[in-house]
């Protein structure tokens, strides 16, 4: 029995992606409030790298196991879109939480990065839900969803 069949990677990934989307929304809109509640570490660069790495690893395993079962590229496209949004935000839009100046988080110039990260997280949630439903629709046999 392999790891993909023992764990529901899509359920884990959907939960993690939801947490990621909420993380992106909170750090993009209310970073200053996080430190008040003792949650400032959520906006750290280490947390960012951890969220992204976890999303890519779990998503890749779920994608591999799902594709072997349902043979559809639809989940792959949704996954690629989500990861693409995340990369564009972090690499090209200057995604930064301004740890030294949390008031800059409300700067409208940073809104596109926040929106793109939330879209990325929601896309990854959608990927896991679609992938999981397509696998269950196959009922244990190889099928060919279009």
Give the pTM: 0.71
Would you state the pLDDT for residue 101? 47
Confidence at residue 130, expressed as pLDDT on a 0 to 100 scale: 92
pLDDT in tens, 28-49: 555 556 666 666 666 677 877 8
- Distance from C-alpha of 136 to C-alpha of 10, rounded to nearest angstrom: 11
The first and second tokens of residue 48, run together, are: 């960012």
- Joined together, the tokens standing for residue 116 give 């793109």
Radius of gyration of the chain (CA): 17
Of the chain, the percentage scoring pLDDT greater than 70 comes to 62
Predicted local confidence at residue 118, as pLDDT:
82
pLDDT in tens, 63-86: 898 888 889 999 999 999 999 998
**If we measure between CA atoms, which residue out of 97, 65, 78, 85 comes closest to residue 1?**
65
The answer on pLDDT for 107 being more than 60 is no
- What is d(CA 36, CA 33) in angstroms, rounded to the nearest whole number? 5
Question: What's the mean pLDDT when you consider all of the chain?
Answer: 74
User: CA 57 to CA 63: how far, in whole Å?
Assistant: 10
């Amino acid at each position: 029995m392999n790891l993909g069949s023992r764990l529901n990677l899509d359920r884990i990934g959907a939960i993690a992606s939801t947490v990621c989307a909420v993380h992106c929304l909170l750090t993009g809109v209310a970073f200053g409030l996080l430190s008040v509640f003792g949650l400032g570490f959520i906006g750290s660069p280490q947390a960012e790298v951890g969220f992204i790495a976890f999303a890519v690893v779990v998503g890749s395993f779920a994608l591999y196991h799902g594709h072997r079962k349902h043979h559809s590229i639809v989940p792959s496209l949704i996954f690629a879109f989500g990861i693409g949004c995340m990369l564009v935000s972090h690499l090209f839009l200057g995604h930064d939480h301004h740890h030294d100046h949390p008031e800059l988080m409300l700067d409208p110039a940073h809104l596109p990065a926040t929106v793109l990260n939330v879209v990325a997280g929601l896309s990854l949630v959608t990927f896991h839900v679609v992938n999981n439903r397509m696998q269950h629709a196959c009922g244990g046999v190889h099928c060919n969803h279009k």
